[in-house]
Structure 1
Amino acid sequence: MDDLRADLQLAATLVREAGHLAASMRAEGLAASHKTSLSDIVTAADHAAEAHVVARLRAFRPDDSILGEEGAAHQGTSGRTWVIDPVDGTWNFFHGLDWWCSAIALTTDDDVVLGAIHHPATDTTYAGGPGHPATRDGLPLASLGDLGVHEVCAATYLHPDRHTTPVGAAWRRAVARPATLRVLGSGSMDAVAVATGILGVSFQHDVPLWDRLPGEALVRSLGGVREEVEAGGVTWNVLGLPTAAGEVVTALRDER
């Protein structure tokens, strides 16, 4: 447990530093380039924040592997991997919206061990993992209760060009269930909103590890669940309160 506590402290420090670096670079002015689509962008701040985290990990955890959204990769010998998202919600970040963060997770071959997320707009850091209570700026967060999907707000996203495909059909079944919906633009921040009781569930398809693992660790540490389901020819990631998440999974795959 002492080792995990040290890892959590390191993770929290790294995401704070990455978030502060990205925010300071944005304040000075940035350009953006496109990756896979017009809405999938990257900036120099993404690369600089990732490079900073990688350098710190190589110094403090030299035996661990590293995987970063912007291309960082190192094969270690410990059986542990740090998964880095230097700026999650880059569209929001670049366009001046506050719903973005810096995030990191630590995994083993078996599971995610911990996650940490820093929200620069409020200068708040969240950290936790399965078996270790989650915290906000070092203070414990309350455990999650349980509600049905019809009682909660859900965060989700589906790219507009997929609304009329089989993926869209599955998505429409699920979005008909919650009390209300939000499309916010950062998977890790959506997970923070679940962990703090603002949202009840989030769901999106084909979520990469850096977008999934930090928030999953946080939510699971508080009694939430992560479910995976195939529907519409894609893999959906569902994160939230146990009953709400289960009902979203059922809706996604129910083709009757």
Structure 2
Amino acid sequence: MTTAPEALADDARLAADLVREAGRLALRMRADGVETRTKSSISDVVTEADLAAEALVLERLVRERPDDAVLGEEGSSRDGASGRTWVIDPVDGTYNFAHGLTWWCSAIALTDGDALLLGAVYHPHDDVLLVGGPGLPTTRNGEPLARLEDRPLGESCLTTYLHPPFYGDAVGDAFGRVASRVATLRMLGSGSMDLTAIAQGQLEVSCQHSVPPWDRLPGAALVLGVGGSHRRTSAAGVEWSVTGVPSAVDAVCAALAAD
């Protein structure tokens, strides 16, 4: 379905408001002290701030977009009649957030069926808001970002999030084929923040496997909005999400598929 430019701009303004409100709420709560509990592993955690920020976003979406569906990382789920879905990550990089690090954000994406319409990511520490999508040139605090400069994988910085238990199996082997071809590697702990860095030309390509929609879609929209590429490919029995400058994305996908 095609979204009119005026309607897309209105959705982008709402997305910007939502992530800014959620991020500022989380930042205030962290300053006051938050309790942390483990989800699936010691590095997969949730705080009271995640839950409160997601509830804030859900409440406003129910009010302002009552026909749209909602999918949230912390369990918010709501069916809709419009075919559109808001995908919420109230605090992306919760481990960093809970341990006093600054590489975390609030993120949201809007889809229409299988089509990604837009993403918005707010970094509270630097008060930076990025909004963009495939049909919406990405902006940083309202200013357009430059189009990405393409470069080969061998001149690119790769960012990822790969847990150590995967290093010694087929998944680790597949990732090793990628890592051996890049200029350098970073593992910073927030997928959406990593993709904001790619959209701003600070990093070149991201490669992760088994990425849920809330960790993938908001940042991918920003990268697409500056001429980048976003692909999903299967290798070593898992699905990989690869996002960044086009030549590096193509080379990563080829390396993953190689035996």
TM-superposed deviation, 1:221: 1.0
The gaps in structure 2 that reach 5 residues or longer are none
Matched, 1:64 2:68: yes
Q: Which residue of 2 aligns with 1:5?
A: 9
C-alpha distance in 1 between matches for 2:237 and 2:226: 31
C-alpha distance in 2 between matches for 1:46 and 1:246: 35
TM-superposed deviation, 1:31: 1.3
Of 235, 238, 246, the match for 2:239:
235
**Secondary structure of the corresponding residue to residue 107 of structure 1:** strand
TM-superposed deviation, 1:145: 1.7
Q: Which residue of 2 aligns with 1:174?
A: 178
TM-superposed deviation, 1:177: 1.1
**TM-score under structure 2 normalisation?**
0.97
The within-5 A match list for 1:144-183 is 144-183=148-187
Q: What is the Cα-based RMSD across aligned positions, in Å?
A: 0.6
Q: Which residue of 2 aligns with 1:131?
A: 135
Matched, 1:212 2:216: yes
| 1:127-168 CA distance string (max 9 Å, x none) | 001111110111111111210011111101211011001000
**Secondary structure of the corresponding residue to residue 76 of structure 1:** coil
**Is the contact between residue 87 and residue 109 of structure 2 (CA under 8 Å) also seen in structure 1?**
yes
C-alpha distance in 2 between matches for 1:69 and 1:93: 16
C-alpha distance in 2 between matches for 1:211 and 1:249: 19
Identity rate of aligned residues, in percent? 56
**Is the contact between residue 161 and residue 191 of structure 2 (CA under 8 Å) also seen in structure 1?**
no
Matched, 1:74 2:81: no
Of 198, 216, 233, the match for 1:194:
198
Matched, 1:50 2:57: no
**Is the contact between residue 148 and residue 228 of structure 2 (CA under 8 Å) also seen in structure 1?**
yes
Aligned residues: 255
C-alpha distance in 1 between matches for 2:13 and 2:232: 29
Of 96, 99, 102, the match for 1:92:
96
Q: Which residue of 1 aligns with 2:249?
A: 245
| 1:86-114 CA distance string (max 9 Å, x none) | 00000000001111000000001131100
| 1:202-225 CA distance string (max 9 Å, x none) | 010000000000011110111101
Please identify runs of 4+ aligned residues in structure 1 that moved more than 3 A: none
The gaps in structure 1 that reach 5 residues or longer are none
C-alpha distance in 1 between matches for 2:224 and 2:207: 15
Q: Which residue of 2 aligns with 1:14?
A: 18
**TM-score under structure 1 normalisation?**
0.99
**Secondary structure of the corresponding residue to residue 151 of structure 2:** coil
